[in-house]
Every structure is written in structure tokens, then in C-alpha cells.
Amino acid sequence: MKSRRDFLKVAATGAIVVGAENTFGLKGALDQQSEKEKARVVIARDPALHGSDGKLDEKRVGELLDRAIASYTGRKRPVDAWKYLVLKGGANDKVIGLKTNGLGGKGISTHAVLAYAIAERLQQAGVKPGNILIWDRNARDLQACGFTINTDPARVRCFGSDVSGFEDKVESWGASHARFSRILTRECAMVINLPILKDHSMSGVTFAMKNMYGVVERPQDLHAGGCNPGVADLNAFPIVRQKIKLTIGDAMTSVYEGGPGFRPEHLWQPNALIVGEDRVAIDHVAWGILEKKRAEVGLKSFEAAGRPPRYIATAADAAHALGVNDPQRIKIIEV
């Protein structure tokens, strides 16, 4: 676990810049090995993503997605990159879920254009339309994102846990208990997590791991203590740990204060996508981005505001072992 000082070094830049690699000798080999062991987090940005009128240029979203995924997978052609991700996720001929977040309402929800761009690329990579399922808590959340509910298996499906229902059995991990959405337990072989970056009045930051609150019946039971250890525990349940294979975080629009609801007075456009498999590393990086923005506008740090996202360190501890929050073990690739 890193100190606050270490963290702030990262937050100050919003990124860790990895230096030039020494490719000679033992040190070079060790460095290379060390680099490979780092959790990779890609931050793809496009400053022109929002036009001067403040509207999202939807065409550019697809291009940004392709750039992010090419960088993350090392495959230039999107079709190759997505075939690789599907294969790696063990989801050939199986259902792939795209878990969005529409809780904040229309102004601060996962952008539908992002989910549709992913669905389109999955189909280009050979995934049947009906094997793609865009989902969230309920129809209202999905409609807030701009989706149309569809249960027809001939097309990309889109519905919430209000349609599927929840498992009868209450599962336990640590002190946390939950009944999971049948979309997660029965429909999906692999889930791509599509959270939206937000401030959160209790947990400080809500992004990759916190988005899993939308897969259980009673998320309110996990909010105590600033959502710590609730967020970490929830992600440690085997069904969540195993099925969430990739996060493509929507940081095209964000709220740096007043979240998780829509607060136009605190709205901000980072114009970025954040991609990775290590959910802890992603949240740690997201924390740094929000912290930097808050400092820019003169707001207190999350620590000073009394709501540091402690669940990130908890998720990295030996009991949860969900990923890394040590900046030295995170490689941020900015493209």
C-alpha cells in the first residue's frame, strides 16, 4: 500500500510516465520483466471530442475507442483486437455483457454511442448480435443513457435486471451479502464494464469497481463506511471477479463534485476513455484524475473532504487481491 505522498505524486501529473527502457544487460532484462508485470491502464484522449457547442462528436468516439483498444491489445486493426479480447475472455459463441451506468440520469451516464460502438466492433469480430447484451439495473437507467430496450435475440439485446430478476440465493463474501442479477449469473460468459467517471458523496470516487453496485439487488446494503469494504467485497465475489474481464471506462464527461447525480455546475469533460483489466489500478488512476481536477478548481482533496476512496486500498489488500494500487506497479499509457 502506498503512502498519500506517493499517491499525490501520481495525482499531480494525472499519470505515471514510464521512462525509456534500458534494453541492455541484466538490469534491462529485469526492467523489461518488471514492465510486463505492471498493470496496464490506457488513457486515450481526444481534446476535440466535444465541440465548441459542448456537444459530443459521436464519430470521434469510435475513433477514440479504436485508438484505446489498439494501444491496449497491441493490435492495430479493430477486428483483430476485438477477436483477441473475445478469445481471451473465453466468450466465443457466448453472451458478452456490456454493463453501463445510467443511475446519474441523462446528463451523467455511460454514453450510448460508446456501448453501440463496442457492440458494432464485437459483431465485426464475429459475435452474433443476440450474444451482445447491454444491461444495467433497470429500464429507466438504460433509457437514461439513450438505449432502447430490446429482448429480441436477433438483434443486440438491451434490458435490465428488472427483466431478468435476481438469484434467490443470498451469497456472502466477508461481511457482505448480495443477491446477483441473473444477467450476470446466467446470461453472460464475459462482461465488459462501462462505468462513467464521477465524484461520489460517500465513496469519493465511483468508476470501475463501484459500477458493480448495479449488479446486485440491494446495493444500499453496501454503502456503509464510505462503501468500504462494500466495493472491495462485492468485486471479490467469484462471479464478479471472474466474469468482469475488461473495463472501458467512460471519462468523456464527468462530475468532480456533487456526484453521483447530475450536477451541471460541476460538470467537466475529460474527453477520455480509460481501458484496462486491473480494476483496482483503473480506479486508482481515476482517483488521481478526479483529484487533479478538484485541485485545479480549488476544491478540497477527497481526504480533506472526508471521503477518500479507501475501498481502493482494501481491494488491493491480500484478502481481496483484486489488483494493484501501487503507482510503481501501474503502467499508464497515454495515447
Partner 1 sequence: MKHLNLLLLGTLSIVLLSSAGLSGCKKKIANPFPASNAVAGWQKASETRTFEPKNLWQYIDGDSEQYIQAGVVSTATSDYKYQGQLEAVVDVYTMGGPDGAQTILRRGQTKDAQSIPLGDEGLQYTQSVNFRKGPYLVRIVAYESSASTPQALLALAHGVEANL
Q: Which residues bind partner 1 (CB under 8 A)?
A: 54, 103, 105-107, 200-203, 206, 213, 219-220, 223, 227, 257-266
Length of the chain: 335
Tell me the closest approach of the beta carbon of residue 209 to partner 1, in angstroms. 14
Locate cell 503512502: which residue? 3
At residue 197, the 3 state secondary structure works out as: strand
Nearer to partner 1, 121 or 310 (CB): 310
Peptide bond into 260 cis (omega under 30): yes
Instruction: Sort strands 244-255 and 196-200 into parallel, antiparallel or unpaired.
Output: parallel
Beta-bridge partners for 180: 216
Tell me the closest approach of the beta carbon of residue 159 to partner 1, in angstroms. 18
Nearer to partner 1, 278 or 283 (CB): 283
Is the Cβ–Cβ distance between 259 and 206 less than 8 Å?
yes
Nearer to partner 1, 72 or 302 (CB): 302
Q: What's the alpha-carbon Rg for the chain, to the nearest Å? A: 19
Residue 204 phi, psi (nearest 5): 85, -70
Q: What is the DSSP string of 62-116?
A: HHHHHHHHHHHHS-SSHHHHHHHHHHHTT-TTS-EEEE---TT-GGGS--HHHHH
Tell me the closest approach of the beta carbon of residue 33 to partner 1, in angstroms. 41
Tell me the closest approach of the beta carbon of residue 153 to partner 1, in angstroms. 29
> In the 8-state DSSP scheme, what is residue 217?
S
Tell me the closest approach of the beta carbon of residue 108 to partner 1, in angstroms. 10
Tell me the closest approach of the beta carbon of residue 296 to partner 1, in angstroms. 14
Nearer to partner 1, 71 or 206 (CB): 206
Nearer to partner 1, 19 or 54 (CB): 54
Locate cell 469494504: which residue? 229
Residue 214 CB neighbour total at 10 angstroms = 22
Nearer to partner 1, 87 or 224 (CB): 224
